[in-house]
A and B are shown apart, each in its own frame.
Chain A
Amino acid sequence: GESVGLHLPTLSVQEGDNSIINCAYSNSASDYFIWYKQESGKGPQFIIDIRSNMDKRQGQRVTVLLNKTVKHLSLQIAATQPGDSAVYFCAEPRKGYSTLTFGKGTMLLVSP
């Protein structure tokens, strides 16, 4: 069945560093992935998405890479800022629905 999981529960970086958050998935038929950011006391917020016909997609300071061979995706945050401190989830829509299957999440801690 569909499942999405995270490699690291916590990532600590210095302000200005680049951050890389990883995610593995198990369903080789998965064709769409979304990264969410969840700040303390708030609901998840959409960051960036990627479809399986792409290897890379860039947004503002964020890049998502998709490696379908090893069923792995990553979220790269450039010049990490204290405001980036949050829990980051990769998620996959349930086939044919707008509902989502989430992984456990990675907490990103940015120190000044």
Chain B
Amino acid sequence: DAGVTQSPTHLIKTRGQHVTLRCSPISGHKSVSWYQQVLGQGPQFIFQYYEKEERGRGNFPDRFSARQFPNYSSELNVNALLLGDSALYLCASSFGQVNTEAFFGQGTRLTVV
């Protein structure tokens, strides 16, 4: 069975540009969460989506947005990129919204230059 898949694996963008990252959850999982992991730090929670609705948001600016599609895949969008947005972006899927194990994808490495 396929695990959580993310695309692209690596990406280089210029300051001020926009980026879209994609995530496909494990089949049957309805919850997708996004995390930002800056080098040398633990992942920081950005968003959780469950049944296509936003269920939680971390302390990130409005430049960050996300959505979940009817097939439960998800996109993370970041506008007006800053150098500080350079990080590994992780997607995690879980079966339910609460108290269920999260499975992580391999991440998308975003570099902003």
Contact = CB atoms under 8 A, between A and B. Distances in A.
Interface in B32-62: 33, 35, 40-45, 48, 55-56
Interface in B77-107: 90, 92, 94, 96-107
A98 B102 CA distance: 7
A42 B98 contact: no
Interface residues of A, number: 20
Interface residues of B, number: 28
A69 to B, nearest CB: 25
Contacts of B31: 98
B33 A43 contact: no
A45 interface: yes
A93 B45 CA distance: 11
A1 to B, nearest CB: 11
B76 interface: no
Interface string A39-78: 0011111100000000000000000000000000000000
B56 A99 contact: yes
B87 to A, nearest CB: 13
Contacts of B103: 46
A43 B106 contact: yes
Nearest to B42: A102
Nearest to A93: B99
5 contacts: A43-B4, A44-B43, A45-B104, A94-B45, A98-B98
